[in-house]
């Protein structure tokens, strides 16, 4: 069958780095992650082939975008979405405990939190 129903509470939580809790649903062409970033979580600027949309459901996250020496800083809160195209350098810091939905396409087991500093 081509349809599946999931419950976030039934999915395994992994912790690819300190201060992050993540649950993932991995499809053929897209990956959806329910992520809790605890206050103080920081991912250094990195890049990946995936296109990414980070939907902030609650909390506040500071994102950095762009190459070293030419970065932009954006603070996003509940209801805001960051769209990062493929191979754009970006990083993040949780200013408070925050919940996000991350959408990645194409699917990849390795994202920035799986290969920090990439």
CATH number of 14-105: 2.40.40.20, 2.60.40.10, 3.60.20.10, 2.60.120.10?
A: 2.60.120.10
Task: State the pLDDT at residue 118.
Answer: 47
pLDDT of res. 115: 59
The contacts of residue 16 (CB under 8 Å, 6+ apart) are 22, 113, 114
Q: What is the mean pLDDT of the chain?
A: 92
Provide mean pLDDT across the span 99-117.
78
Strand order in the sheet with 51-58: 20-26, 31-37, 98-105, 51-58, 81-84
Token representation of residue 38: 């605890």
Residue 86 has pLDDT above 80, yes or no: yes
User: Under a CB-based contact definition with an 8 Å cutoff, are residues 110 and 87 in contact?
Assistant: no
Asked whether residue 116 carries a pLDDT value surpassing 60, the answer given is no
pLDDT tens profile 23-47: 999 999 999 999 999 999 999 999 9
Stated pTM of the model: 0.89
């Amino acid at each position: 069958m081509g349809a599946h129903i999931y419950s976030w509470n039934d999915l395994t939580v992994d912790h690819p780095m300190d201060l992050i809790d993540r649950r993932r649903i991995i499809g053929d062409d897209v990956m959806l992650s329910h992520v809790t970033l605890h206050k103080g979580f920081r991912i250094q600027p990195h890049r990946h082939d995936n296109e990414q949309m980070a939907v902030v459901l609650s909390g506040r996250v500071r994102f950095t975008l762009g190459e070293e020496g030419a970065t932009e800083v954006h603070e996003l809160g509940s209801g805001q979405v960051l769209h990062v195209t493929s191979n754009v350098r970006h990083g993040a810091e949780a200013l408070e405990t925050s919940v996000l939905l991350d959408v990645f396409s194409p699917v990849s087991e390795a994202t920035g939190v799986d290969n920090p500093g990439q």
